[in-house]
A and B are shown apart, each in its own frame.
Chain A
Amino acid sequence: QQPVQSPQAVILREGEDAVINCSSSKALYSVHWYRQKHGEAPIFLMILLKGGEQKGHDKISASFNEKKQQSSLYLTASQLSYSGTYFCGTPDGYGGATNKLIFGTGTLLAVQP
């Protein structure tokens, strides 16, 4: 079952912050985050594993709360290069015996000058 992302779209000015949420109705063991620019392939951002960890990548960070079955992606002081569609992906299965990664419907982020 596809994870649910919110919001569907967000428009920012350069320097503003944004949060993108990813929720699942099933127990989560890990969450993947990818960004896709228009007409290009998705590019990997980060993976969060079970344990409630928070990771960072430049000014993009994420948290993972397995009890709430959700992850949030934080974009701080956004830059024009952050524009694109952000996808979260979650394993579709139980325990570690799965190799199916199911993606959400995406969040379109537009950063304006």
Chain B
Amino acid sequence: NAGVTQTPKFQVLKTGQSMTLQCAQDMNHNSMYWYRQDPGMGLRLIYYSASEGTTDKGEVPNGYNVSRLNKREFSLRLESAAPSQTSVYFCASRSSTYLYSNQPQHFGDGTRLSIL
């Protein structure tokens, strides 16, 4: 059972470089999310996709773009990486479209990104 798969697991970039973080889920979930986690800040929502074909901004979208390629895949792109984007990035997915239902979010193992 793969669940939510993120690639790569680790990456080091130089300031100004671009990069795409990949996320795929095999649970036929409708909704997918990208979070970043920094010490003392918890999990902050960058972008999310309630269903295939839709994307919306979260709490901290500046400097990022996303693509919901199909129902399985949701990618996060850094066009011009900055040191402030050094973080651990988590992708998550969820079955239901609305948060009223008792469906949990399933997280990938994370991508540890360092920008020098």
Contacts and interface: CB of A to CB of B under 8 A. Distances in A.
A27 to B, nearest CB: 13
Interface stretch (B14-22, B38-46, B67-75, B76-84): B38-46
B100 A29 contact: yes
Interface string A61-99: 000000000000000000000000001010101001111
Interface residues of A, number: 27
Contacts, number: 69
Q: Interface SS of chain B: helix, strand, loop or mixed? A: loop
Contacts of A96: 98-100
Given A41-B90, A41-B110, A42-B90, A101 B98 contact: no
Interface of B: 31, 33, 35, 40-45, 48, 50, 56, 58-59, 90, 94, 97-100, 102-110
Interface of A: 2, 29-30, 32, 34, 40-44, 47, 49, 87, 89, 91, 93, 96-106
